[in-house]
Structure 1
Amino acid sequence: MSIPSLPDALPGPRRPRPSSVPSLRWGVLGTGWIASRFVASLQASTTQQVVAVGSRTQASADAFAASLGIARAHASAEALVADAEVDVVYVATPHHLHLAGALLAVGAGKHVLVEKPLGLNAAEAQAISDAAARAGVFCMEAMWTLLLPRFDVVRQVLDAGLLGDVRTVLADHGEHFEWPHRILDPALAGGSLLDLGTYVTTLATWALGPATTVQATGEMTGTGVNGQAAMVLTHAGDATSVLHSTLLTRTPTAATIAGTAATLTLPGPFFVPGDVVVTSADGSRSVTWTDPEPIGHGALFHSALEVAHCVGEGLLESPLHPAAAARTNLAALDEVTRQLGVTYAPTPAPTPNTSSGHGAAGC
């Protein structure tokens, strides 16, 4: 197989312009950290309209709506999804409530964007995607990293075969958290894996395909959640990913995708806007794409643009992050949790009193 030589410059991203997609009317389920940053990102960078918010109490919904200039505030998830002015629901509740919120939304005929992880496990992700398919509505996990311009550059490098035969992915994600942050609370499905580990396993399964074997080790915190995990995944053709997540320490949070012809490096933090560096296998040449977007959560709007683009095209899922990809990632994490003895409290059935709140935790 002929391997293309490194170009003088890496390709530019092909992400849609905010003005090129339909302006959807968004309802936000949840009033926590990630919900506020998502709304602020849409308001600052898109023509998307955030028209309603739902929370477990009227007071919480009213305060969130007032702080962000949202017209309508609902005291329950059921009231939000019943709002006739809402086209798409963004589920921004804690992890263990994603299933309930997503099923309420699709049951009401709303398109849905569910904060990562799509569910606590692959079975929940399957249930959500199946329900959306039956209802004929769009559904996507909000894995915003894969929808950034930075990652469209990576996508094109991989598609062009510039790395040769990709054999290795290395990635870590480490941040330090103190109690009472919700990531340390087992009642809220806390721990390093669903918040931080999902980024590294998503990268690995995106670049190398499903895991065929998983080996994991780790440690628990005093509060009863996974503190850190080291994971080695084998993929098709014995390609390997070496991954790490921790909520105990701040780590470089960088990533590498390495092939026989070249190595692609994502300086940390790899999951947000940032540069892409490709270096030939012999180290003699290197080419860099420099991201014009500032590092930070202001880029959350890219996932909303993908939703709007797909809805405008009549698609029920994103070709860039389909439901099967989210399930593949969660299947790998399911095996990690099994090996580490990590369990999550059962997901409650959909009720009108859907709790809200996401902490920072790399979302």
Structure 2
Amino acid sequence: MDAKSVRWGVLATGGIAAAFTADLVDMPDAEVVAVASRREDSARAFADRFGVPRAYGDWESLARDEDVDVVYVATPHSAHRAAAGLCLGAGRNVLCEKAFTLNSREAGELVGLARERGSFLMEAMWMYCNPLVRRLKALVDDGAIGEVRTVQADFGLEGPFPAAHRLRDPAQGGGALLDLGVYPVSFAHLLLGEPSEVTARAVLSDEGVDLQTGALLSWESGALGLVHCSITGGTSVGASVTGSRGRIDIPDGFFHPERFVLHRDGRDPQEFLADPADGPRSSLRHEAAEVMRALRAGETESPLVPLDGTLAVMRTLDAVRERIGVRYPGEAA
């Protein structure tokens, strides 16, 4: 790695890998030098699409490629432990998609391995790197709405998804919670940290994954978090943060918002808009930029997406799954 370009490897060739790579190739300080898939034809097609010079038909070759500064792991989350662990074990730095792993035990293993090797590791929680979300957090931290009392957030997709879909497959960590619920849970963590108590209910599929889950998170301060996720009905994907002296509303797309509105007692509402210079709301470049900034600074984790925070989110997701009775194949009873 030099001061001008960070060399990326991409592990997996699905939709999120394509979206991330499309952003990377437009960044002047990033270079995608290799891609890997379990099928060489898939890797080659991806490489041809994005002009990537090396395509591997196995993960190990990418992990061993010393010309790669950092690997973006974009497999389904059921494979994150294996894929990210392989890369970390080979000395690569890693950006790993969310949900980070299936459970907090796997997450702890990856974090432990990264810290043991002195390698960079970050969860691809792009919401935390979004400039407008960072502005919202700064306002809350500065006391703009007083002491936070309630956080509400939801993420639902219309569906229906057939039984063969990965979102219905327990072996792939299916269900609404890890795919969608990780966003509202992470949003609550961003503003309040790890809750002291978790209550949850869900509607489960015949396969045993959650189709719809609602959770009540509680903090010792008295704050409450109301979070919801679903793969049976589309929602506004909105969020709201209520404090002792005001409220912030994100009417839609809370994890990559175009705007939010600050309501403060005794004042007119104030609207905050995304800066067009930051790119489209779907852009993943902000998390890529944070990874590259950290690597150039010699940091092994990001202050925007700290590993201890990722572990805390995984513990909360574990607690929700325990309450609703969802267990994935291979997990201890």
TMscore range, shorter length: over 0.9
Match of 2:305 in 1: 321
The count of residues paired between Structure 1 and Structure 2 equals 325
1:290 corresponds, among 267, 273, 296, to 273
Shift of residue 236, structure 1, vs aligned partner: 2.9
What are the residue-to-residue correspondences of 1:250-261 with 2, within 5 Å?
A: 250-261=234-245
Q: From 326, 337, 341, give the equivalent of 2:325.
A: 341
1:8 paired residue number: none
Match of 1:28 in 2: 10
Offset, 1:331: 0.7
- Residue 149 of structure 2: which of 159, 167, 175 is its match? 167
Q: Distance in 2 between matches of 1:52 and 1:116?
A: 21
Cα deviations across residues 59-86 of structure 1 (Å, max 9, x unaligned)? 1111111111111000111001111211
Contact (CA 8 Å) 2:214, 2:229: kept in 1 or not? yes
Give 1:265 shift.
1.2
Residue 216 in structure 1 maps to residue 200 in structure 2: yes
The runs of 5 or more residues in structure 2 that have no matched partner are: none
Which of residues 24, 36, 54 in structure 2 aligns to 1:42?
24
> Are the equivalent residues in 1 in contact too, given 2:147–2:243 (CA < 8 A)?
yes
* Partner in structure 1 of residue 126 of structure 2: 144
Aligned-residue sequence identity (percent) comes to 38
Structure 1 segments, 4+ long, off by >4 Å, are 293-296
CA–CA distance in 2 between the matches of 1:243 and 1:225? 18
- Offset of residue 176 of structure 1: 2.1
Separation in structure 2 between the aligned mates of residue 45 and residue 86 of structure 1, nearest angstrom: 17
What's the secondary structure of 1:134's corresponding residue? helix
- Equivalent position to 2:56, from 48, 64, 74: 74
TM-score computed with the length of structure 2 as normaliser? 0.94
CA RMSD of aligned residues (A): 1.5
Paired residues of 1:260 and 1:281 also in contact (CA < 8 A) = no
Give the match for residue 197 of structure 1.
Answer: 181
Larger RCO: Structure 1 or Structure 2 (Cα < 8 Å, ≥ 6 residues apart)? 1
The answer (yes or no) to whether the contact 2:258–2:281 under 8 Å persists in 1 is no
Q: Is the 8 A contact 2:133 2:256 kept in 1?
A: no
| Deviation sequence 1:91-137 (CA, Å, 0-9, x none) | 11111110111111111111100000111111111111110011111
State the SS of the aligned residue for 1:337. helix
**Contact residue 116 and residue 142 of structure 1 kept, 8 A:** yes
1:303 aligns to 2:266 (yes or no): no
Alpha-carbon distance between aligned partners in 1 of 2:270 and 2:178, rounded to the nearest angstrom: 33
- CA distance in structure 1 between the aligned counterparts of 2:281 and 2:133, rounded to whole angstroms: 15
Match of 1:155 in 2: 137
Aligned: 1:134 with 2:107: no
Partner deviation per Cα, 1:10-31 (whole Å, 9 max, x = no partner):
xxxxxxxxxxx75210001111
Residue type of the partner of 1:327?
L
* Structure 1 residue 185, shift from structure 2 partner: 1.8
What's the counterpart of residue 99 of structure 2? 117
For structure 1, the 5+ residue unaligned runs are 1-20, 348-363
Shift of 1:152: 1.5
**Kept in 1: contact 2:239–2:254 (CA 8 A):** yes
| Letter aligned with residue 168 of structure 1 | T
* 8 A contact 1:273–1:295 mirrored in 2: no
SS of the equivalent of 1:319 reads coil
CA distance, structure 2, for counterparts of residue 246 and residue 22 of structure 1: 43
Instruction: Return the TM-score normalized by structure 1.
Output: 0.86
Decide whether aligned partners of structure 1 residues 295 and 191 sit closer, same or farther in structure 2, where only a CA change above 3 A counts: farther
Compute the displacement of 1:286 (Å).
1.0
Partner of 1:87: 69
**Partners of 1:22 and 1:273 in 2: how far apart?**
30
Q: Quick one: distance in 2 between partners of 1:211 and 1:110?
A: 33
* SS of the residue 1:146 aligns to: helix
- Cα distance in 2 for partners of 1:326, 1:76 equals 28
Instruction: State the AA in 1 paired with 2:185.
Output: T
